[in-house]
Amino acid sequence: MFQMINFNIAATMEWPPYVNTTAICATSDVDVSVQQVKNHFYNLMGDPELEELMNDAMESLGPEMVQILWKEFKEFYGDYIRKIIEDIINGNKFTGITSHVLQATVQNLKQLDWLPGISDLIKF
């Protein structure tokens, strides 16, 4: 078991926001931090010394591993996360992954009539 202690997610926005004629815009960011990790590998390969060594190593490296993994994750999914924050701020009702998949599917249905007459049955 991998237990994260003092796990924090911080969503921040730059203030003051930029105001244009159509919207109020602010730069947003999300960061993750873990202060402490407890690791519980039990009976690891039947060797109590190896169990203790691995648990100690994971506990000392855990917070740094979370930071490294978050940076990698954020690099690829940062724009998506910002979009979700923007949707929440703007009061959009559909902000989950499912809604984005549904929205993409509807968009594709609008563009491609992959079943003859399907666009006549679905009202957009």
Same domain, 47 and 15: yes
Q: What is the per-residue DSSP string for 35-78?
A: EEEEE---SGGG-HHHHHHHHHHHHHHHHHHHHHHHHHHHHHHH
Count how many domains the chain has: 2
Range of the domain at 124: 93-124
Same domain, 9 and 67: yes
Q: Kind and range of the H or E element at 14?
A: none
Flag whether the pTM goes above 0.75: no
Same domain, 29 and 69: yes
Report pLDDT digits (tens) over 5-49. Answer: 888 878 777 776 666 666 666 677 788 888 888 888 888 778 888
Q: 121 or 29, which is more confident? A: 29
- pLDDT value of position 99: 61
- pLDDT value of position 22: 65
- pLDDT value of position 124: 43
Rg over alpha carbons for the chain, rounded to the nearest Å, is 23
Same domain, 100 and 79: no
Contacts of 32 (CB under 8 A, 6+ apart): 7, 8, 9, 10, 66, 67, 70
